[in-house]
Structure 1
Amino acid sequence: MALFQVQGIQKRFGARVVLENISLSIEAGTVHGIMGPNGAGKTTCFHVLTGHHAPDAGHIHFDGQDITGLKPHIIARLGVSRSFQLMNLFDDAVVIENVMLALPAFRAIGSSPFRATFGDARLTKAALAVLDQVGLADRAWHKSKDLSYGERRALEIAVALAAEPRILFLDEPTAGLGAKGTQALAQLIRQLRRQYTICLIEHDMRFLFELADRISVIHWGQVIAEGTPAALQANKWVARSALGAVA
């Protein structure tokens, strides 16, 4: 059984149908890519899969459990974490604070004084371990707003990892990155895939074709093609589009 299974998802906003009969199967330990033109419904799909929008029809299963319509914080606690197209960081906090706030152990403390929490060596150690995963341990005590754009992208991923997920959803992780930053991110994802199942939306097709085990193509709110990067090279829709040169 797939780790994350999506069957017949539909979503509309008023009279506008955004997703129609979306089905996906994400196997444990793989990188699954989602691609398609602007306005195809990719980000809305992510919002539905992670609980930010409830589907109008269909079912979502994570590790055999039906999570359809559950709230985002409940889905996150089950082991599903995500990043967003627009970064959502506490700029005036230091780097380690952003990560520590997302740790399950931090949330469990509840009403304990904030300052006392940051004096807890166990939480500091846990947050530093997450930062080390993304190459930011040496920047732990810098202000988040002082990081480079690429480092901020890595910090956003660290915040998602702090929730201790089993599957990580990344929405346009290369957005705004130059060639060097994209290469660094590709290397980071290669490292993270050893521990996490990853699903990512990506506009950089070369990046996606090099990293993904399988790719789903979404257009007009539907999955119109799916397969390995090699299989999509022969797909007629891909061949007729601007993606053909990359494939």
Structure 2
Amino acid sequence: MALFEARNIHKRFGSRVVLEDISLSFEEGQVSGIMGPNGAGKTTCFHCLTGHHKPTRGSIVFDGEDITGKAPQRIARKGVSRSFQMMNLFDDSAVIENIILALPDFRRRYAQITTSVFDDRALLDQALEVLDQVGLLGHEWQPSLSLSYGNRRALEIGVALAAKPRIVFLDEPTSGLGAEATRQLAELIGKLRKKYTFVMIEHDMRFLFELADKISVIHWGQVIAEGTPDDLQSNKWVQRSALGEVA
């Protein structure tokens, strides 16, 4: 059984059908990709998978448990983390504070904060370990807004990892990045994939084809193709699109 499965997901907003009979599965230890043109339903699909939208029908199963319609916070506590296309960081806080606020131990111990979290050595050590994973040691006391755009993307991934997930959903992680920052992000995910399962929506097809074990193509709210990057090289939809040059 796959670690995460979506089964016949349908989502409509009023009379508008955005997702129609979407089925996806993500294997533990793999990098899975989702691609397709603008307006295809990719982000709505992510919102359904992570609890931000409730599917109109269908089911979502994580590690054998039906999580369909559960609140995002409940799904996150079960081991599902995600980033967003628009970065969601506390810009005026230090880098390490962004990580600490996402740690499960922080949420358990400091529901009502009466002392400084910086006096808690265990929390600091956990946060520093996460920053080490994403290559941001040495930046821990900088304001988050002062980081380069590429490092802010790395910090956003660090915030997702701080929750100690089993699967991480990344929505357009290369958005806004230049060539060098995109290369560095590819190296980072290549390193992290040894420990985490990733699912990515991505517009940069070269980035996705180099990293993903399996890619699903969504168009018109449906999965129209699925397979390894090599499989998609011969797919007629890919060949007819601008993606064919990358594939």
TM-score range, shorter chain: over 0.9
Question: Which residue is 1:86 aligned to?
Answer: 86
Give 1:42's aligned residue: 42
User: Unaligned regions of 5+ residues in structure 1, if any?
Assistant: none
Which residue number in structure 2 is paired with residue 123 of structure 1?
Answer: 123
* Cα distance in 2 between the residues matched to 1:133 and 1:194: 12
Pairwise CA RMSD of aligned residues?
0.8
2:59 is matched with which residue? 59
**Partner Cα separation in structure 2 for residue 204 and residue 112 of structure 1:** 43
Q: Deviations over 1:60-105 (max 9, x none)?
A: 0001000000000000000000000000100100000000000000
Matched length: 247
1:47 & 1:241 partners in 2: Cα distance? 26
**1:135 pairs with 2:135:** yes
**SS of equivalent to 1:159:** helix
Q: Which amino acid aligns with 1:43?
A: T
Give the TM-score normalised by structure 2.
0.99
CA distance in 1, matches of 2:111, 2:152: 29
Cα drift, residue 117 of structure 1: 2.0
Structure 2, unmatched stretches of 5+, are none
Q: Paired residue for 1:240? A: 240
User: What does residue 183 of structure 2 align with?
Assistant: 183
- Amino acid across the alignment from 1:214: K
Alignment of 1:1-247 (within 5 A): 1-113=1-113, 115-247=115-247
Percent of aligned positions with the same letter in both sequences?
A: 69
Query: 3-state DSSP class of the match of 2:244?
Result: helix
Q: CA deviation at 1:116?
A: 2.4
Q: Which SS does the other structure have where 2:87 is aligned?
A: coil
Which amino acid in 1 is paired with 2:235? N
SS at 1:70 equivalent: coil
Q: Distance in 1 between matches of 2:176 and 2:116?
A: 37
Q: Which amino acid aligns with 2:228?
A: T
Distance in 1 separating the partners of 2:233 and 2:2:
24
Matched residue SS, 2:61: strand
Q: Which sits farther off after the overlay, 108-117 or 196-205?
A: 108-117
Q: CA deviation at 1:115?
A: 4.2
2 CA distance for matches of 1:58 and 1:27?
20
> Counterpart amino acid of 2:243?
L
Mapped to 2, the partners of 1:67 and 1:113 lie a distance apart of: 31
Deviation at 1:109, TM superposition (A): 1.2
- In 1, Cα distance between equivalents of 2:112 and 2:99: 18
CA spacing shift, 1:209–1:114, aligned 2, 3 Å = farther
Query: CA separation in 2, counterparts of 1:44 and 1:99?
Result: 27
Q: Deviations over 1:104-161 (max 9, x none)?
A: 0000013442642221000000000001000001100000010000000000000000
